[in-house]
Chain A
Amino acid sequence: MTALDSVPTTQRPMGVAPQGPLDISDDDLVSCVACGLCLPHCPTYRVTGLETSSPRGRIAAMRAVQFGGAPIDTVFERYMEECIQCRGCEAACPSQVPYGRLIEGARQALHERRSHDRRRRRRLAEWLGYTVILPRHRLVIAATWLLGLGQRLRLVPRRLVPRGVALPLVSLTELRHPLQPTAPTAPSGASSGGPSTGNPTNAFDAVLFTGCVMDAWQRGTHRSAITVMESTGAMVGLPGPGGDCCGALHVHAGRTAEARRLAERVIASMPGDAPIVVDSAGCGAALKDYGHLLGSPEARAFSERVHDFAEWLAPRVDRLAVRDTHERVVVADPCHLRHVQRQTTPVRSILAASHRTVDTDDDGLCCGAGGAYNALQPDLALAARERKIAALQRAAGGAALTDFRVVSANPGCLMHLMAAGVRAVHPADLLAEALDPEHPRWPRDAIRPEPSRHPGSTP
């Protein structure tokens, strides 16, 4: 007989677990009971069928490192880097394992270790991207200009990365025109006048966080968001200096220290207590997590103010005068909206009057975009997208991709889907299209404190 009668229990280590090399809580790490209910909700497991690319497997690998003395080697690094960090597993976990915390902790350990032995060229590229460009909005805009020019001169191929991960055509016109919200009509009918950019204060009803890449590549969507928000009578402000890069990509890459610095900058850019509206699900999730990232009371208070665009709009949607387009749109919830912010109802309710929303049957499985993921792990990203597109088409009753639009509130997902020929659109753009231009804007007076019904509708 073998020694199987003395098989060790791995359900959790007994006694006091030794402090391992990963900066993650042992309590968090042992809270996984390996039931496997996360597996179908993991986009990488779904396309590979490998335990190594599943949340359960990654946690088991972290345990092997933390408790079992396994080395932090390239194998471990690969398992951790294959994670898209969509956190679909976290929403599905019956034991409520804080997977996001675990994977960020593991990535941070990898980042610190990598700083020593990663090849110089890659380190340089990462430094350029994460440390130089992303936090400097002018550089982002400048780089986007160059990209846009290159695209037009056909210097930049449509497909930068192998096999279909592509960049959208940048709008140079948009880049020339900065965002400039207009003041809403005052209750008396007189304009309160003046541009609303600059330092946001309580004078505004909401501040739209514009981000870095999105402001460069999808500024039109911000315009739509401002138009829609203003149509509810809100006076919309923009962040002050430093309110650009949210640091989400840095957190994902394990560059926690840089992320913290960026977070502090963002918080400083939007003082006051006005709601902060974010029309990028990824940025929204990051801003909502500042409380945890920084751990300070100010950060927590700041995070409390953060709302996704749809989340902010939903209670005010009755003020919008939209026409019913009868268009059927398939909803592709961004993971950071669905799994992290746990906001799925608002986008459906804000579109209810103008569009017919259809859901997919895949429990909101990630499309594979994942911030910079589709550039770093193109094979997995493309396989996940293939699966997503099949689900979108099923939801559309088998229609061709050209025959229906898909709504998603995250720039990364939009670009990733569009690169595959999906007609993906942000809900703000959909709503802006459907706004009735003849109808007067809702008067500002009625906005705070309590949203009420549209004057034109019956009580």
Chain B
Amino acid sequence: MTRVGAVAPALSAAEVAERAREIAASIGSSHGPVVAVGAQTHWEVGGPVPDLEEALVVRAPSGIVAYDPAELTITCGAGTPVAMLDATLAEAGQECPLDPADPAATVGGVLMAGLSGRRRLRWGPLRERLLEARFVTGDGRIVKGGGPTVKNVTGFDVCRLLVGSLGTLGVAVQVTLRCQPRQSVALWTVGPTGVSAADVRRRLFNPSCVASDTQGVHVLFEGHADDIDAELAVSGCTPVVAGPIGPQGPWRGRISVPVTALRAVVDGLDGLDGLDGLGALATSMVPAAGDGVTVAWLAEWGVGTVHVASLSAEGLLAARALAQAHGGWLLREAGRLGPAGPDGAGPSGVGLDDGFGVGLPDPQIQRRLKMAFDPAGRLNPGRIPL
């Protein structure tokens, strides 16, 4: 692993507390929507993008509050860029696999967007990283959820709720994350020709990622060099310079389907080839495995995730329909719609406006949860279609 940037500056707990009080006070002395802003790298994820002109815009502090490598935890301001966090941890031979698509993203932004990184198969979803959060609720309370230790069952799990909440439950000010030792070797490979991703996975103990696209199977190994050699031998994988970047395009999304339905979704995406969407993406795609051929989807095996990209909203809609047909859904990650119209519909009128495309499960519970944190509905209204 290479260093990705400068280490984060120090941040005192007093500064964080002061900042939290400021944010609480500004919420208390204002009316209307409150929007927490990080690096805006995940800005288009989910429901309609809020209009910053009309909102109270708040920003979390940046910097490391506490880090002791022997604790395997790090506490930082929620506004700390992930690149800086990575650099700080790298100095001690550790990492926190937030793995955002853009390392300029802030820690708080990544957590709120809730998008797990590419290494989820081995290291677990993003939501398992957040141990403690200090945040400001929609009614101006400064609240601590969870605890700073790696193991904790004290009280209800506020942190699980915050991850992926798209800023609708609280303004994260400070977070404590669970870290891990960096593995000595990380190696991307491609699978042997003609062997399915599922078969490659079956041959391996704990690969960090098993992905596939129209070009083949991509496997990430992390660990001891000799162990990786042995795993390469049993799986027939061949090392490559870099992993798949994944489909790129103006309309992007992430399909989540039951892990058992991934195969069917992938087959279906192949079948969408003729559409003015996924199949026509060749020009915007990034070469995979260095052979110049491009792909429009990338499936992550074992975690039910397919990344899709399209040149048009219709392509993404087709992918969403496919996901829904297989018991899944699609979260829009990119495809700017602009502010919602008065009836909630976006200007494109294509039905991607709410970012989810499906009704939320147990909407009543979700609404009541929102009320518990933000009774007046001020935090990022519309981001989650409650």
Direct contact of A and B (CB under 8 A): no
**A interface list, Cβ under 8 A from B:** none
**B interface list, Cβ under 8 A from A:** none
